[in-house]
Structure 1
Amino acid sequence: MKLVEFHWPSGQKLTDDYVQESGRAMDLFDYHPWDGKSWEQRADWLDQRENHRISRSRLAEVLLDYNHKVGNSEKAIEHIRALRNPETLVVIGGQQAELFTGSLYVIHKAITILQLAKQAEEKLGRPVIPVFWIAGEDHDIDEVDHIHVLSAQQKVEKIKLATPHGWRSSVSRMKIGAAEWNDALQWLQGSLPDTELKAGLLSTLRSISCRSETMTDFFAGILSALFADYGLVMMDSDDPAVRKLEGPVFARMVTEYRSLNESFLESTRKVEELGYRPQVEVYENGANLFLFEQQERKLLFGSPKGFQDKKAQLHYSESEILRMAEEAPEKLSNNVLTRPLMQEFLFPVLFTVLGPGEIAYWSQTVAAFHKLDMKSPIIMPRMGYTLLEGPIQKQMNKYGFSFEDVIYRFDEKKQAWLDQQDDLRLEERFAEIKQKFEEIYRPLLKELGAVQPGLDRLGSANILKIQEQIDFLKNRSIGAYQQKFEAAVRQMDRVRLSILPLGKPQERVYNVFAYLNKYGDEWLHELISKPLEVNGNHRIVYL
């Protein structure tokens, strides 16, 4: 397997500047990610703050219970036990629980976490464990209940899990029955070509689904199986046992919500002053917490009497919310801005691994970290990959496409290739015919106008009709000629659909099982074991 580095901007200006070490973006964060001293500085700071976090032993007990439940490996269990050691640090990244692990970038994020944990442990000479934070508290089911596959008919098709219509509670609280799992697995089975690996993959997925009550369980079970050799620790943010640990932190966020929100606004203003567009809207009266009420997850806002939902239909006093934090913390949930703060209270985070949008919104949280007497962790961009299959590589070579051509100028390159095949020179010859026709016909029209007024106008209309007929024949001729190259066009289109489906990077559309079914998991292990610099650049993987 060969890897080639490729600079592919994300389109998120702040993130692209951060990855390229632009001074403006760096001013928004506490650490420089590639400064050789940052790793040691962050580790030393975490050591000094040991007593300001939630108890390691209590957190370890919760993680042990959850990872046993989802069938994680003994290696992951060892990592959790190591968390009790005050020397142990964490590399963490997260994602919503998605069907069959969702798009490839979820796998790429896990690979980045594992790579960084291994590198940090070697460099710092102390235990560093990899943790995957599953955002089970998120409630947007439409984002996570499907995957996309490339069909044999060269169409990007959707495989969808049947879910309750209008669900507004967390994904981790939505029960999935055996019939729904079976339907999704049947769809996946039908979408995957027959290979010697297919039966084993489907058997593994069926086994995991049998012990999975929710999408989060299924997601965690698959990731645990894929990365069993490396001990990727799973954590569900909506686990009631985790919520119980977080209760005191929720109470503090409630009592200090005004100053915290002002901190978010302060960071947001700084983002704007440096010329960037904020990723997240910060409301003037935002509490930046959710409340589960009547099977819905409702965003809280400050009000004269305490708190209310966005539509001001539900009202709560501060004492009521504080009582929830103490007695029923599972009723509370972080939003996108307070989640980073909660993570810092739970884990001794050396690195947090983020995607382009996440890096942008974390820039809006730094002042809030400082308000709580904390520093934001070292932010590392997740690695991005495009998997280039052997047949795709051959077709690119055959038609003279570079990776950059496919990304930025595919249509022009395809048309240029087709034009080169046109040994009849149809465009050129039909243009010559139209030109010669006008040269012969125009002088005659002038003479006809002298014979009878109006004949020259009639002749001009006649010219347009004849030209239309010439163009009609030209287009039919070119279409018929290009049919000779239909197979070539399909192959070229297959290249684009492989690399840039739906106009998006491959890693944001396709699912990992299409590749595991064809190539096994050796490429996955190689991406984890091969030493790679986590520098924010994209990598092309030649399978």
Structure 2
Amino acid sequence: MPRSTIPYHETGYYSKLITDYLSEAEALQQFYQRFPKITNFNAQLSEKKKQFSDASREALVEQLHKQYANTEVSEATQKNIDALANENTFTITTGHQLNLFTGPLYFLYKIFSVINLAETLNKSNTNSYMVPVFWMATEDHDFEEINYFNFKGKKIQWNRKSSGAVGMLETVGLEEVFQVIEAQFGKSENAKHLLSIFKQGYLEHTSLAEATRFIANTLFSDYGLVIIDGNDKELKKQFIPFAEKEINQQLSFSAITETTDRLNKMGYPEQVHPREINLFYLKENLRERIVQRDDLFFITETDISFTQNEILDELKANPERFSPNALLRPLYQEVILPNLCYVGGGGELAYWFQLQDYFKKVEVVFPILLLRNSVLLVPDRLSEKLDKLEVEVSDLFLKQHELTTKHTKKISDIAIDFSSQRAHLEQQFKALYELAKKTDASFVGAVAAQEKKQLNGLDKLEKRLLKAQKRKLTDELERLTTIQDQLFPKQSLQERNSNFAEFYLEYGQELFYQLKDQLDPLLHEFTLLRLPKP
């Protein structure tokens, strides 16, 4: 079988918050509304349908048509955009930063999670229709987080000066990046295809938002993915009432702080710190926080200031200039989309858990939260090597010293286990304790000290034997650790480091077919995927 799974809590890479959520721990249930199981979606749908207006649908569809004006739209995507005008159509949404050439592998896993969940729900419910949506984080401003991707251990970086929202950035300087990857990718047909996507995306579009839309659309349009840019004046008009409350009442700060305090007391750390005002002011080359001092509202790092009336007038006249931060973006998203479920990584879900009480106060339906699929891709050549070593893929999640210890004990021709000797020693000391009880307490203490000394001595001997066997088996252990280093770059998850290009060059479109076919978004376990020979 190409696919196997491992529980998230056994991987060692997920927080207690996430593993508690996946186990539906009772204490955590107060921070979300419905758990992501298929039986909960009908209730979610009914609640969202009552709240989401026809006017909101009309605005959404109209703006999507405008946003796609310069993009070649597939039949499947066009069908899904048009379907959003229907009151029985809803969305399954994920979002991501505008990372250079999609960034880390989990970009793919997020999107296949929403695509597959939408398809699953469509099969189980014929009275409604689900559309997979990708929300581009065009209003982010941390360029250093997105201006590179890793390819075979090398960092390929876009160097330029940046300010303001990254979606507005011009694609200047990406010709140099293209020249770098052209030399790195090679001359295969798969390489030519990837280079064509990069070139058309970044060298034939003027903004990073448009380039990212082109690339995501090219990769996923056959699956009907709908891509949305929230940095849109008409869509932000619907957010004006909530932005007004943020300015006038600073409602999010009090609600989110109280929820965060409860999470902290339960041992879950704060993911995102709430501000008094969780809005940025956004213009060309500018995205800075809005702060209040006395009766004035200032834009940090600038000379811009407003009275309360002036900033409210500015909001009504130019809503596109008001940009929600990480804690308000989820609300904005749920206001403008008929969304049932948000699919995100562990860090994203962590800050969503800070938000439910705030959603209740502003009377917006809180979505179902789903942890995206996580995957370890195992190329066929490494699968064969693991089979020869008789090592399970799941063993590679161990820390490297634990992996080598486990494998050494498995293949050693000498048993590296002194448990029988330890049991024999403990049995001998039982007799000594019986003898000691017949004398005085000081003798009992002496027996205990001697027992501890000898047991420690056995432990040291066992460790020395293990070390000696590791030296003897160095060649095989090095083959094993080399495989682990390839699959877990820098001893971290592959999906957080490697770019999809590494695998696409070898497997081509089969990579996408395998992910589409093998990923089950409602399985709630980490997927180990052995890729077949290309």
TM-score of the two chains, using structure 2 as the length reference = 0.82
Structure 2: distance between partners of 1:21 and 1:483? 44
Is 2:525 the counterpart of 1:537? yes
Structure 1: distance between partners of 2:491 and 2:523? 25
Say whether the 8 Å CA contact 1:264–1:282 is kept in structure 2.
Answer: yes
- 1:277 is matched with 269
Matches within 5 A, 1:42-81: 42-51=44-53, 55-81=56-82
- 2:7 is matched with 7
Q: Are residues 503 and 209 of structure 1, via their aligned partners in 2, closer, same or farther at CA, if it must alter by over 3 Å?
A: same
How far off is 1:23 after superposition?
1.2
How far off is 1:245 after superposition?
4.8
Matches within 5 A, 1:116-127: 116-125=117-126, 126-127=128-129
**Helix, strand or coil: the match of 1:204?**
helix
- 2:425 is matched with none
How far off is 1:278 after superposition?
1.6
Say whether the 8 Å CA contact 1:134–1:237 is kept in structure 2.
Answer: yes
- 2:24 is matched with 21
How far off is 1:292 after superposition?
2.4
How far off is 1:498 after superposition?
2.5
Q: Who wins on radius of gyration, i.e. which is larger?
A: 1
**Helix, strand or coil: the match of 1:68?**
coil
Structure 2: distance between partners of 1:193 and 1:22? 49
Structure 2: distance between partners of 1:395 and 1:328? 60
- 1:148 is matched with 150
**Helix, strand or coil: the match of 2:85?**
coil
Query: Residue type matched to 2:45 in 1?
Result: A
Q: Equivalent of 1:187, from 175, 180, 189?
A: 180
Q: Are residues 342 and 416 of structure 1, via their aligned partners in 2, closer, same or farther at CA, if it must alter by over 3 Å?
A: closer
RMSD: 2.7
Q: Are residues 120 and 73 of structure 1, via their aligned partners in 2, closer, same or farther at CA, if it must alter by over 3 Å?
A: same
Structure 2: distance between partners of 1:239 and 1:490? 54
- 1:324 is matched with 314
Is 2:167 the counterpart of 1:172? yes
Q: Equivalent of 1:498, from 459, 474, 486?
A: 486
- Identity across matched positions, percent: 24
Say whether the 8 Å CA contact 1:67–1:233 is kept in structure 2.
Answer: no
Structure 1: distance between partners of 2:272 and 2:408? 46
- 2:434 is matched with none
Q: Equivalent of 1:161, from 158, 161, 174?
A: 158
Query: Residue type matched to 1:215 in 2?
Result: L
Higher mean Cα deviation, 168-177 or 384-393? 168-177
Size of the alignment, in residue pairs? 471
TM-score of the two chains, using structure 1 as the length reference = 0.80
**Helix, strand or coil: the match of 1:511?**
coil
How far off is 1:107 after superposition?
0.8
Structure 1 unaligned residues grouped into runs of 5+: 151-155, 424-477
Matches within 5 A, 1:74-473: 74-125=75-126, 126-150=128-152, 156-164=153-161, 167-177=162-172, 180-256=173-249, 258-283=250-275, 286-292=276-282, 295-309=285-299, 314-414=304-404
Q: Provide, for residues 473-520 of structure 1, a one-character-per-residue CA deviation record: whole Å limited to 9, x for no partner.
A: xxxxx9xx99994xx676434412332112210000011111111101
Q: Provide, for residues 311-338 of structure 1, a one-character-per-residue CA deviation record: whole Å limited to 9, x for no partner.
A: 7965322222212221122211001111
Say whether the 8 Å CA contact 1:98–1:216 is kept in structure 2.
Answer: no
Say whether the 8 Å CA contact 2:3–2:527 is kept in structure 1.
Answer: yes
Say whether the 8 Å CA contact 2:382–2:483 is kept in structure 1.
Answer: yes
Structure 2: distance between partners of 1:237 and 1:29? 24
How far off is 1:199 after superposition?
1.5
Structure 2 unaligned residues grouped into runs of 5+: 414-467
Structure 2: distance between partners of 1:299 and 1:418? 55
